[in-house]
Structure 1
Amino acid sequence: MILKYSDNPFKQVFGIAFYNRKNIILFTLISIVAVFQYEFGEIFDFEPITLPVVPVTILGGALAIFLGFRNNSAYDRWWEARKVWGGIVNASRTFGVMICTFSSSYFSEEKVKDKHVLAWRKELITRHIGWLYALIMHLRKENNWDDLEKYLTKKEVEQIRKVHNKPTQLLHKQTERLRDAFEENMIEHFRHMELTNVIKEFYSLQGMAERIKGTIFPYYYNYFTGVFLWLFVTCLPFTLVSEMGWSAIPMSIAISFVFTILEKSGAVTEDPFEGRAADTPITTITRNIEIDLLEMIKSDTIPAPIEPKTGRFGVKYLD
């Protein structure tokens, strides 16, 4: 998630121009062609091409409608992704508190030792952290096992390597260990049901994230938005040249750039789990949950929060 661009305005402008250099070059070439053929057409006995304003204006209006719909829909996907991970934060903290306070040797009349209860708490908390990193891998289609291997046993790692949906199987393992704790009288019936309901909420939140990831934005909106955009960009300088002459070049570039940036922002925002600077910062959110849960079980190894990264041209963002 981008926090801010560089404090240096020159870096801001240069960075934006750099990342959009191909489009800017195309806009410039189209505008130069339009102006040259208009200004020098008579010299080469060539009838200059000019277009009326009204049709291009109507095309620009239609394009604005498509861009507005797409950007609104893309932002809804981005915001829903953020709400899903906000729900994971809240549910994870609730789960950690319940694990640490609901389990006790009291219900077994101290037949279960406190040491066993503490080990069980640590097991479920660390496996939950493993689930968070497994979910990131699942959504980003990555193959980074380092964080998982820190919180899962070798046997669990080998087991989930063989399955398609790794986070789902980890949640299933959590429910099995909750059942074991109930049968060993570490938790009583009501508390077992409450913990199971939290696992159910994790399943629901994971499903929401998978829906966002797996639902492709309607192809025809992407396709026709691109077609209308480049048709508008191509026609625009041929409309402006008769009124503005050489001034049509910078004006056409500026207007085309605005529409292109709107289209690009929608394309980037509609996929919020890809790990790019503009996406939902699920790695940073997960690290914050990891710290909270490890502090609950009084772990000796608590990682530091993830600091904002500085990208090219001074852009600050969270991963």
Structure 2
Amino acid sequence: MLIKYSDNPFKQVLGIVFYNRKSILLFTLISILGSIQYQFADIFNINPFVLPVVPVTILGGALAIFLGFRNNSAYDRWWEARKIWGGIVNASRTFGVMICTFSSSHFSKREEKEEDIMKWRVDIINRHICWLYALIMHLRKQSHWDDLAKHIPAKEVEELKKIHNKPAQILHKQGTLLTEGYEKNIIEDFRHMELANMIKEFYSLQGMAERIKGTIFPYYYNYFTGVFLWLFVICLPFSLVPQMGWGTIPMAMAISFVFTILEKSGAITEDPFEGRAADTPITTITRNIEIDLLEMIKSKTVPAPIEPKTGKFGVQYLD
């Protein structure tokens, strides 16, 4: 998630130009071409190619409508992703509190040792942290196993590598551990049912995230938005040049840049799980949940929060 650009205005402008250099170069070339062929038409004894302003204006209006709809829809996807992970935060903390407070030797009439109950709590909490990191891997299609290996046995990690939907399998294992706790009278039936409902909630939240990841933004919106954008960019200088002369170059570049940035922002926002600077910071959120859960079980290996990263030109963001 992008926190802010550099405090230095020069770096801000430099960064924007750098990340959009190819588009800016094309705008410049098209604008120069449109201006030169009009200004030197008499010298080369040719008829200048010009376009009427009205059709190009109508095209720009249609493009603005497409961009507005697409960007609104893309932002809805980004905001839904953030709400899903906000739900994961709340549900994870609730689950951790339930695991630590619902389990007791009272239900087994003190037959279960406290150290065994604590081990049961630690196993479930650690496996839930693995579910969080496995969900990140699943959404980003990555294969980073170090975060999982910190919390579950190496044998279980190897078994997970063979499974397609790893986070779903981890939740299945969590359900098995809850049943074992119930059978050992670590938790009684009502508390077992409440914890099972939390597993159901995690499945639901995972499914929502998978829905965003798996639902491709309608292709025709992306395709025709791109077609209309470049048609507008190419036509614009040839409609402005009769009125603006050489001023067409900066004006056409500025207008084209605005429309292109709008199109680019929508394209980036529509897929919020990729780990880019503007995406939902699921790694940072997961680390914060990990810290909370490990502190609940009084772990001695609690990691530090993830600090904002600084990219090129002073951009600060959370992964």
TM-score by length of 1: 0.99
Deviation of 1:43 after TM superposition, in Å, equals: 1.1
Q: Is 1:94 equivalent to 2:56 in the alignment? A: no
d(CA) in 2 for partners of 1:226, 1:68: 13
Aligned residue for 1:242, secondary structure, equals: helix
Q: Give 1:60's aligned residue.
A: 60
Aligned residue for 1:3, secondary structure, equals: strand
Letter in 2 for 1:281: P
Deviation of 1:155 after TM superposition, in Å, equals: 2.2
Q: Give 2:181's aligned residue.
A: 181
Letter in 2 for 1:211: R
Q: Give 1:191's aligned residue.
A: 191
Deviations 1:66-105 (A, max 9, x none): 0001000000000000000000000000000000000000
Matched length: 319
Q: Give 2:257's aligned residue.
A: 257
d(CA) in 1 for partners of 2:185, 2:96: 19
Deviation of 1:162 after TM superposition, in Å, equals: 1.0
Name stretches of at least 5 consecutive residues in structure 1 with no aligned partner.
none
**Displaced runs of 4 or more, over 6 A:** none
d(CA) in 2 for partners of 1:156, 1:92: 22
Q: Give 1:24's aligned residue.
A: 24
Deviations 1:24-73 (A, max 9, x none): 01000000011111010111110011111110000000000000010000
Instruction: Compute the RMSD of aligned alpha carbons.
Output: 0.5
Aligned pairs for 1:3-42 (under 5 A) are 3-42=3-42
Q: Is 1:287 equivalent to 2:294 in the alignment? A: no
Aligned residue for 1:106, secondary structure, equals: coil
d(CA) in 1 for partners of 2:158, 2:16: 45
Q: Is 1:142 equivalent to 2:146 in the alignment? A: no
Q: Give 2:105's aligned residue.
A: 105
Q: Give 1:44's aligned residue.
A: 44
Q: Give 2:298's aligned residue.
A: 298
Deviations 1:139-186 (A, max 9, x none): 000011000100111221122111100000000000000001001100
d(CA) in 2 for partners of 1:224, 1:162: 40
d(CA) in 1 for partners of 2:260, 2:161: 42
Aligned pairs for 1:126-165 (under 5 A) are 126-165=126-165
Letter in 2 for 1:209: A
Letter in 2 for 1:225: T
Name stretches of at least 5 consecutive residues in structure 2 with no aligned partner.
none
Q: Is 1:75 equivalent to 2:78 in the alignment? A: no
d(CA) in 2 for partners of 1:163, 1:92: 23
d(CA) in 2 for partners of 1:256, 1:313: 23
Aligned residue for 2:300, secondary structure, equals: coil
Q: Give 2:231's aligned residue.
A: 231
Letter in 2 for 1:128: H
Letter in 2 for 1:79: W
Q: Is 1:84 equivalent to 2:94 in the alignment? A: no
d(CA) in 2 for partners of 1:33, 1:136: 47
Q: Is 1:247 equivalent to 2:247 in the alignment? A: yes
Aligned pairs for 1:116-127 (under 5 A) are 116-127=116-127
Q: Share of identical aligned residues, percent? A: 77
d(CA) in 2 for partners of 1:81, 1:239: 42
d(CA) in 2 for partners of 1:3, 1:157: 34
